[in-house]
Structure 1
Amino acid sequence: MAVGLAAKGSHATMDEEARAEVDVLNSRLEKTTQLTKKIQASLGRLDSSGQSVRDVAGPLNGETRRLQVLGNNIDSVLAAIDRLRQPADSKNDEEAIIRSGPDKAGLPNYLASMKRLNKSYSDMQASNLRANQRTMADLGRLLKSGNSQLEGYFDKLLRTDTPRSVEPLHYITKDKPFPVLSQDKIARLGLVYSHVAVEQTQDNPEAAVARIYAEIRGPYLASSLANLAAASVNTAKKKNPGAIYRAGTNGMGTYSQAMEGIFLSEYDNICSIFTREDWGLVFQSTCQPALTEFARTLRELNTHIKSHLSTDCYLAYEITEIISGLSEKLETRTGELKGSLAAALKPVRETAKSSLTELIEETKRKVNGLQTLPADGAPSPIVSETMRRLQTMVEFLRPISSIMVSLGDGGWKATSSASSRPSDAIPSLASFDIGADGKEIFSHYCLDTVETLLSSLEQKSRMMLKSRSVMGVFLANSVIIIERMIIDSELSPLLSSRLDLLDQWKKKSTAMYTDVCKDLSIHLFDTIHTNRTHRPTSGPADSASVVKGLSSKDKDKIKEKFTQFNNAFEEMVVRHKSYSMEREVRSMFGEDIRRKLQPLYERFWDRYHEIDKGKGKYVKYDKSSIAAVFIGLAS
């Protein structure tokens, strides 16, 4: 029991200790709760205070940033001002260089100073600060003075290397290129132009330098070519005004050759000095004085050609070919001057085109103007003159072919509108009918000329020649001369296969001449009376039997026919020999007479030659003797 009481006391003690610990824990928990509330209250107050701080600090932070940006901007402006002050500060140094000029300062140093001034001027323009206006005005005046000195320097350099003129023949005859500017001058001129082409802040100095170049080099080109221009006009004036122009006797070929050489050398100069985009403009401007003189020369030559068209139209053809070739060469090398050359050539080319119509019309006028025609049928000089003109035209076949293609087939006819079509430019292949053949068209022109000539001569002969025989001789002589002058010349390849036209005129003239055979043949016709018992035998007649069977009256008629034939035949032979005939005409007419009369006479002779029993009183010609006469007619 004592043990039980002891154990019971021990448990009580432990419970008391546990309650004490619980009380301690509860006391601490209470303090923790109170502390948490205090912390929460403090956090609330702290949050409220932080919001207030943010409300106050936020604007201050923005202002601070703006003040920092403003400070940076102010620093930049001060730096820019410092930079902008530099040109003003260095103006005196640059001005000293500019005032001394390119010669004294040295071109590279001078151009460097100009470049710095241009940059400073551009920077000041960009800043647009009122404080810099006076300095900008000073720099502007300095730049203007600098550019003016550069222009003067360019002018001086160019003049010292540009002669007044050169002698073109010296370079042409020795096949030497025309002189160009020295490399040293080209280098310095190029430096000046390169500067003004880039730095264009003042009054377009680039154009001023290009103008200076053209003003100096243009007169040099014109002066060098002036003598050849005058020679081209002088060589057109012949001692014998009626002489036909011969190819190559005018100075235009040499003039053109000189223009090509000196222009191309000048183009090389320009390409070495100026920028590519300026080559064409400077080249055109530089060549203009020479081109103006060239155009004047062609107008003067054109006036001469129009005044002597029948003899000097060939000069128009030659000039057309020469200048067309020059234009093509310069166009290929430079891409320039085609329009200027075409405008200068236009009057001559138009005259060349219109001459084709005018020459045919002149042929008509000359034939109509003939006051007399030879009574013996001799040809008119106009036939040979016309054919010589066509022969001469073949020497200029290339330019004529070009003109023919531009006119079109038949374009030379007076009624055609093609001959009046404008031609403002040197024609190119694009303006032509690609299928057209200039030689073919020219052959048609030649045939048209021949037809016009022969038709006009026939019309004139009908008015002035009463005898058809003389008309036949006159036309046949003309046809033969035309044919001969075609075959024996450079016209042959063009026309020899087209001579059907002449064959027709041969037949017409032969028919006119041999009309006399109709009158002669009447005397060789007889009337044969037949009956059932006496019929004419076939084959060669027995003249003795035929004559024996004739009545006295019929015999007298046969004798009269022989007599009349002999008289008419001999008269015809005399007239035939009296006519002026070309050898071919005499042979042609004589053969035609023989072909028409000899068979008739031989038949008549075979039947009736025994009419005078060989005495020759009526039958004057036997077959062999009259054959000899016929042979004589053709020789």
Structure 2
Amino acid sequence: MVGPRKGAFAEESAEVEVLFANMDKMKALTRKIQASKNRLETSGKAVQDAITPIYGNTQKLQVMNSNVDRVLDAIERMRAPLEQTNQEDRIIKRGLQNVDLRDYIASLDRTNMALQELNRTNFRANQGAISEMTALLKRGTKELEDAFRNILQQSCAERVDPLEYVAKNNPFPIMEPDQLSTLRLINTHISNSFAQLSQSDARETPTQRIYAEYRGDHLAKCLQNLAAASVATMRKVSADAIYKIGTNGIGIYVRAMEGLFVAEYDNITNIFPRDEWTATCTNTCSPPLKDFEKTLRDLNGHIQRNLMTDCFLGYETVGIVSGFSIRIEQKISALKRPIYDSVKPIRETSKASLTKLLEDTRTQVQTLVALPQDGATIPLTLTIMTRLQEMTNYLEPLSAILASLGDGGWKAGSSNSSSSSLPMTLDVGPNTMQLFEHYCADTIDTLLQNLEGKSRMLLKSKNLQGVFVGNNIAVVERRIRSSDLAPILENYANRKLEPWKKKASAMYLEAWREPSGCLLDVQYTNRKERPHSGGGGALDSAAIVKALGSKDKDAIKEKFKNFNTSFDNLVSQHKSYKMEREVRSHLGREVQTIIEPLYGRFWDRYHEIDKGKGKYVKYSKVELNQLLTGLS
């Protein structure tokens, strides 16, 4: 047991010995490694000290190289527009005559883009190039403007005869499609470059100005003959002739202007962008509108000088121009107000004319120094009714004028007569028709009242006064019934003229009181003896006459004589008067209604006073009836 144990210890002791030997070797190796590390750190520090300056210089060189590359790129970018300018310069300076229009415009567009690029660099060194490029762009744009102008000159070379299109009711022509296409192309470029080249805040582009100048002058020249015709046709052949609708050329003038404006608006919409349509159209139409305003001023002067006869020209003109302004609004709304305002002087004159016509009616009657001694109507009545009848041809413009005056505003001194506002629409409705009815009624009442007053002054007998007033009433009523006044004045004719006719009849019949009075006798119903009667209830004239005393017989004879004298005189006068057909018929029936029953009764009682000799009883009942019937 001791032997093996000693052997195990000996083996373990040997292993320990080996372990210690290895540890000694490890320590020696560690010392060597540490020595190597120290030497390496010393060498690395020396290397770092040597490399650090070299690395810093390398970074600086990289930054510098990057900056040089950027400078070179900038130089290239700066040189590119300049090199392009040289290329575009050759194209632009060749001119439109030698270059296709689209290529020319494309070159200008490239030049414009290059100019914008140079302006963004903001290098002082580029100022010279910018100036050269700007001048080149202006030169090209100027040549395009000249081309734009030349095309417009060609389009205006042949003047349009508007009368031909108005007469045939054809639409007015617009420019040729190739002209419109070219003008649109040029305008698009100039509009785009205008902001780049313009040094001001002007909103009107050169093409807008050129277009308005040439086409506006063209429109004015196309319309100048019609403007002259409108002035020429207002001259009067007869000083007292009432203007007839359609006589003046203003209607054709306005229709031609409307057709040309609509066609021109179509041209504009095919050339310019939408936001330029209104301004371009307004400027283009300005020259012909100025001529139109001048023509209307000339017409207004003529109307004012001949107001009583040519106020109707004013009504017609107001209606035509107001209608034009309403229609043009649907196409070119900006022109509505200038057109509507252009007729304002004539509109004001037309408003004033309604008061003047009413005053003229009164004045003309008051200034009469004599009336027809046969009771005939005077021409003034027919003139006044003709005026009113003529007004029915202008109900649309008159409706607006009357509406602005208000009911009764046409009377002198009315508070409504100074109103200056007018509706911009033409509407003939029940209210405006009522206003016109009231105006006509005031005119007729003024006429008849003054005629009646004048007849009392200048005509001696009542019956002649009645005939005169009745004749004038008949003319008034006849013109109402036989004209367009009938539906308007139906109520007036039925309600207001009847009292006038009764008044005229009463004036006429007042003279017939004298013969009527001769046919009245006195009967005493309380006497015992009753008048004898014949068979069948007929009066026995012989018995009645026989029963009369001598004084009563003489009185009856005197009554017959006085009746015959007065009756014959009045019949003679009746036949001598110049009566309107309906007046003669009416007054004849009125006389017959009064005289015949009285005479019949008187004749039945006393015709035997002269025993049929006809010395006192001049007319039998039949003869009197025939005579009275002949009065109608």
TM-score, with structure 2 as normaliser: 0.85
Q: Is the 8 A contact 2:516 2:598 kept in 1?
A: yes
Query: Could you tell me which residue of structure 1 aligns to residue 142 of structure 2?
Result: 148
Q: For 1:431-450, what aligned pairs fall within 5 Å after superposition?
A: 436-450=430-444
Q: Within 5 A, what are the aligned runs for 1:387-466?
A: 387-423=385-421, 427-428=424-425, 436-466=430-460
Please say if 1:330 is aligned against 2:324: no
Show CA shifts across 1:521-540 (max 9, x none): 33233333343745679976
Among residues 523, 526, 529, which one is paired with 1:531 in the alignment? 526
Cα gap change, 1:12 to 1:600, in 2 (>3 Å): farther
Matched, 1:104 2:102: no
Name 1:518's counterpart in structure 2: 513
**Secondary structure of 2:397 counterpart:** helix
Q: Give the one of 455, 458, 462 matched to 1:468.
A: 462
Match for residue 34 of structure 2? Answer: none
- Aligned runs of 1:161-560 on 2, under 5 Å? 161-163=155-157, 165-200=159-194, 201-203=196-198, 207-423=205-421, 427-428=424-425, 436-499=430-493, 500-531=495-526, 533=528, 541-560=539-558
Q: Structure 2: which 5+ residue stretches go unaligned?
A: 23-54
* 2:154 paired residue number: 160
Structure 1 residue 585 corresponds to structure 2 residue 579: no
Relative distance call for 1:148 and 1:205 in structure 2 (3 A) is farther
Distance between the aligned counterparts of 2:410 and 2:589, measured in 1?
A: 39
CA 529–80 in structure 1, closer or farther in 2 if over 3 Å, else same: same
Q: Tell which deviates more after alignment, 301-310 or 529-538.
A: 529-538
Paired residues of 2:365 and 2:451 also in contact (CA < 8 A) = yes
Whether the 8 Å contact between 2:269 and 2:277 is mirrored in structure 1 is yes
Measure, in 2, the Cα distance between the counterparts of 1:16 and 1:90: 104
Q: How far off its partner does 1:505 sit?
A: 0.9
Partners in 2 of 1:379 and 1:70 — Cα distance?
119
User: Please, what is the CA RMSD of the aligned residues?
Assistant: 4.0
Q: Identical aligned pairs, as a percentage? A: 47
Q: Which secondary structure does the structure 2 equivalent of 1:165 belong to?
A: coil
Cα contact 2:300–2:345 (8 A) shared by 1: yes
Does the 8 Å CA contact 2:400/2:425 hold for their aligned counterparts? no
Contact 2:512 2:570 in 1 (8 A): no
- Check 1:71–1:326 CA distance in 2 against 1; reply closer, same or farther (3 A cut): farther
More deviation in 221-230 or 552-561?
Answer: 552-561
- 1:602 aligned residue (600, 603, 613): 600
Counterpart Cα distance in 2 of 1:449 and 1:588: 25
Matches within 5 A, 1:605-616: 605-616=603-614
Query: In the aligned structure 2, how far is the partner of 1:196 from the partner of 1:11?
Result: 121
Query: How far, CA to CA, are the matches of 2:447 and 2:582 in structure 1?
Result: 20
For residues 299 and 86 of structure 1, do their structure 2 counterparts lie closer, same or farther at Cα, with a shift above 3 Å needed?
same
Q: What one-letter code is carried by the residue in structure 2 that aligns with 1:524?
A: L
Distance 1:592 1:392 in 2: 34
SS at match of 1:102: coil
Contact 1:187 1:273 in 2 (8 A): yes
Query: Unaligned stretches of 5+ in structure 1?
Result: 1-5, 29-60
C-alpha distance in 2 between matches for 1:171 and 1:66: 85
Aligned position for 1:139: 133
| Aligned residue pairs, count | 609
Give the C-alpha shift of residue 351 in structure 1.
2.2
CA distance in 2, matches of 1:407, 1:343: 18
Per-residue CA deviation, residues 37-75 of structure 1 (Å, 9 max, x unaligned), is: xxxxxxxxxxxxxxxxxxxxxxxx9x9999999987875
Partner amino acid for 1:487? R
* 1:16/1:412 CA distance change after superposition, 3 Å: farther
Is the 2:81–2:118 contact (alpha carbons within 8 Å) kept by the matching residues of 1? no
Q: Which residue of 2 aligns with 1:51?
A: none
For residues 573-613 of structure 1, give each alpha carbon's deviation from its aligned partner in whole angstroms, at most 9, with x where no partner exists: 22222222112111111211222232222233333333334
Cα distance, 1:272 vs structure 2: 1.4
Contact 2:480 2:486 in 1 (8 A): yes
Cα distance, 1:187–1:471 mapped onto 2, change above 3 Å: same
Q: Identify if the C-alpha distance between structure 1 residues 76 and 505 changes in structure 2 by more than 3 Å, giving closer, same or farther.
A: farther
Give the structure-1-normalised TM-score. Answer: 0.84
Separation in structure 1 between the aligned mates of residue 215 and residue 87 of structure 2, nearest angstrom: 36
1:313-368 C-alpha deviation (Å, 9 max, x unpaired): 22222222322333333322233421221122222222223222222221112111
User: CA separation of 1:476/1:159 partners in 2, compared to 1, >3 Å: closer, same or farther?
Assistant: same
Q: Deviations over 1:251-292 (max 9, x none)?
A: 222222222222222222211111111112111211221111
Retained in 2: the 8 A contact 1:350–1:423? no
Displacement of 1:177 after TM fit? 4.1
> Residues 293 and 11 (structure 1 numbering): CA distance in 2 closer, same or farther, change over 3 Å?
same
SS of structure 1 residue aligned to 2:197: coil
1:170-200 per-residue CA deviation (whole Å, 9 max, x = no partner) reads 4444555444322222222211110011123
Deviates more, 1:508-517 or 1:481-490: 481-490
The 8 Å contact of residues 230 and 249 in structure 2, kept in 1 or not, is answered as yes
The amino acid across from 1:309 in the alignment is L
Instruction: Say if 2:532 and 2:544, in contact at 8 Å, map to a contact too.
Output: no
Q: Which amino acid aligns with 1:503?
A: E
Cα–Cα, structure 1 residues 544 and 343, in superposed 2: closer, same or farther, change >3 Å?
Answer: same
Structure 1 residue 88: Cα displacement = 2.2
Offset of residue 381 of structure 1: 0.8
Query: 2 CA distance for matches of 1:64 and 1:561?
Result: 160
Rate the CA distance shift 1:519–1:355 in 2: closer, same or farther, 3 A.
same
Q: How far apart in 2 are the matches of 1:66 and 1:613?
A: 167
- Contact 1:210–1:282 (CA<8 Å) still a contact in 2? yes
Cα distance in 1, alignment partners of residues 10 and 326 from structure 2: 135
CA contact (8 A) 2:322 2:425 kept: no
Q: Secondary structure at the match of 1:312?
A: helix
Deviation at 1:379, TM superposition (A): 0.9
Cα displacement (A) at 1:22: 12
3-state SS in 2 of match to 1:104: coil
How far apart, in 2, do the equivalents of 1:166 and 1:117 lie?
41
The answer to which of 86-95 and 466-475 deviates more is 86-95
- State the Cα deviation string for residues 379-428 of structure 1 (Å, max 9, x = none): 1111111122222222333433343344443332223344432247x712
